Chains A and B, each alone.
Chain A
Amino acid sequence: MARMTMVQALRSAMDVMLERDPNVVIYGQDVGYFGGVFRCTEGLQAKYGRSRVFDAPISEGGIVGSAIGMAAYGLRPVVEVQFADYFYPASDQIVSEAARLRYRSAGDFSAPITIRMPCGGGIYGGQTHSQSPEALFTHVCGLRTVMPSNPYDAKGLLIASIENDDPVIFLEPKRLYNGPFDGHYDRPLVPWSQHALGEVPEGHYTVPLDTAKVFSSGTDLTVLTYGTMVFVCEAAAAESGVRAEILDLRSIWPLDLPAIVASVKKTGRCVVVHEATRTSGFGAELVALVQEHCFYHLEAPIERVTGWDTPYPHALEWAYFPGPARVAAAFRRAMEA
């Protein structure tokens, strides 16, 4: 075991896979020589050479489109889009091509690619460095959408994603790169080196896709969340005194439905929390699934705490970000209903 930040854990996952599988290649903007603007690929080009890890032109459509071609050849590309906010130019390649290649060719071709995208807010990133576009991917049949919340899961999920034969959108909450964040922006950052989830094995291991993790068990209500919000919900539970069972979904879609249903049937209450905007966000799908599968066990309306239906603002960051106070209020509402 070693102590790693999420950045180091992600780098370790790519290092492990570059070593194990000669078909793994890594590229994206600033990913090669410089090692990535977040340092996630630092040292990999020096270790594996420019034909395995390299810099790409600023062209998200080109990066994803070429990766699909490489996958059709037989490689296993792991490409980076510098910020999730900039995936839009690659939408056609992701939705029309990567997601459907296996289906439309009846398995003649497939696209086992992993697209890494730093996502999420809480960093004064403003409109184009803070978005959480997961719902734009979960709506696309043929894609897998994954988001880790800590270094151990980040490495294990990234290795599992690279090894998976389906295209995976791998969303990395950049707010969690260096340490957990519970929404208390006025308190000093606790680094991963002082957190139990900063313990990461050096070698190969996986965290299976499609499995949620009970982040903290409880009996009062079930919280369905992922990414940065896992820690916000943990703080909200402590501050509200509500014994919340927090499920870190990890795989957003396809997801671990049995884990969700088991927990909600046990607690009878459910709160869904995500940073992304509310309307038609992934929370709507979670609410619908819980309603469908747990209706007779519900003792209160399902609550949703999300970003507002506005573009992500700069100055009003903390009025936008669903912090522990807003989440705790929802917990209390759910308990009083």
Chain B
Amino acid sequence: MDSPQPLRLYVPEPTGRPGHETDFSYLHLSPAGAVRRPAIDAAPVDTADLAFTLVRVLDEDGRALGPWAPPPDVPLLQRGLRAMMKTRAFDAKMLIAQRQKKISFYIQCLGEEAIAVAHAFAIQPGDMCFPTYRQQGLLLAREDIPMAELICQLMSNGRDPMRGRQLPVMYSYKRAGFFSISGNLATQFIQAVGWAMASAIQGDTKIASAWIGDGATAESDFHTALTFAHVYRAPVILNVVNNQWAISTFQAIAGGEATTFAARGVGCGIASLRVDGNDFLAVLAASRWAAERARSNLGPTLIEWITYRAGAHSTSDDPSRYRPADDWQHFPLGDPIARLKQHLQGLGAWSDEEHRRTQAQLEAEVAAALKEAERYGGTLIDGHVPSLESMFEDVYKDMPPHLHEQLRQARTAQDRH
């Protein structure tokens, strides 16, 4: 017998690094309209093929094709386009505000706008989303969340609903079905399942929507969420946003090579879909399918949204150090805003002129909101920070004696200063 060859550790690498173009063939795309749409009561095991194909509605020419094309609803699509443009305009302005040191930190969702926005249109008031820090579209799709209030959170100023305790972007909006964002990755995924279990325990009709990125699926709470959702048939939508990158690490290092994240759902006995995340119509249709399934007590659904993180990970990140600078231009699923715009133009329901006008209007709206937020106190640099008491309040429901004492000490220290 030959002597064995030395073993070698395999470490996945992206095909594209700075100066080299990415080979996106690993994505295994399906043509628009090609993937079947099962009944909402499909058995999880019967969705196995859907975990390895890609649900798409819009083709290259912006036409809606196949069984997943949602019923025509031009006003809704126009609102969707506007909400995506609003999300992008907001991100662009906040990026500048961070560079101007008006806010300390920001995270944009450039290129991923369709997923959160279309999903927001597919769920109902009272449902609860458990977002990550990259689902601001869930809030910006709504008309009842004032943009200025979001900016106050980003500025930690006197009108910050989080009272200056959280990093920028870590919003909490119970009234909008938007759970408090945590810096700890994946923790909210299992919490969403618990929320959904609670709704079922109480005989309610509300459902939960859980959010996680491709990189964070490697955290243990991803696994616990799938297990609990499956065991208790929790009314939850488990959204995996695969934007190909976790800061600098390619999705292969999270376990994405030669498999899909949707396949994890099937493995855990959960109906699963793999969907074009830059196709507004596909996101809307798949989200509705999963929501109806959950609301009909048919159990959870896992959806892997294929998209691309077009921007930097955060304002502290420089992606040109680990991936090609023009990568987004080559990403085969394109830009969600451009694709819905093309579709609406094909229907004669949108024009370049309308697009320009809407863009200008949104930019003015964001600029006005920024000005309004600045009126409630400036930035950290100006020394506009919340009161000392606010640092000690809400640790417990009632402030215990040791925190009263520490507040007194902090006041004394400040007075002396």
Contacts and interface: CB of A to CB of B under 8 A. Distances in A.
B130 A69 contact: yes
10 contacts: A52-B201, A59-B227, A61-B224, A65-B191, A65-B224, A66-B193, A104-B172, A106-B163, A110-B397, A142-B396
Contacts of B220: 61, 89
B252 interface: no
Contacts of A73: 128, 194-195, 198-199, 202
A101 B190 CA distance: 15
B190 A109 contact: no
Interface string B161-193: 111011000101110000110111001001111
Contacts of A310: none
Given A68-B191, A92-B187, A97-B184, 7 more contacts: A59-B228, A69-B197, A96-B182, A96-B184, A104-B170, A106-B162, A142-B395
B38 interface: no
Nearest to A100: B182
A103 B163 CA distance: 9
A102 B191 contact: no
Interface in A76-122: 77, 89, 92-93, 96-97, 100-110
Contacts of B401: 254, 257
B218 to A, nearest CB: 14
What 8 pairs across the A-B complex have the smallest Cβ distances?
A: A69-B194, A66-B194, A62-B224, A65-B190, A69-B191, A73-B198, A105-B180, A69-B195
Nearest to A258: B401
Given A62-B190, A109-B179, A103 B228 contact: no
Q: How large is the interface on B (under 10, 10 to 19, 20 to 34, 35 or more residues)?
A: 35 or more
Interface of A: 25, 51-52, 57, 59, 61-62, 65-75, 77, 89, 92-93, 96-97, 100-110, 141-142, 144, 164-166, 210, 254, 257
Contact of A254 (B174, B179, B400): B400
B165 A108 contact: no
Interface string B389-410: 0000011110011100000000
Contacts of A69: 130, 190-198, 208
B396 A57 contact: no
Contacts of A70: 194-195, 197-198, 201
A101 B161 CA distance: 14
A102 B397 contact: yes
Interface string B208-231: 100000000000110011011001
B345 to A, nearest CB: 41
B194 A166 contact: no
A246 to B, nearest CB: 23
Contact of A97 (B182, B197, B231): B182
Contact of B172 (A75, A77, A109): A109
Nearest to A167: B396
Nearest to A257: B401
A59 B224 contact: yes
B144 to A, nearest CB: 15
B209 to A, nearest CB: 12
Given A69-B192, A69-B208, A108-B173, A96 B402 contact: no
A68 B163 CA distance: 22
Nearest to B201: A51
Interface string B369-381: 0000000000000
A210 B399 CA distance: 12
Contacts of B194: 65-73, 77
B411 to A, nearest CB: 19
Contacts of A51: 200-201
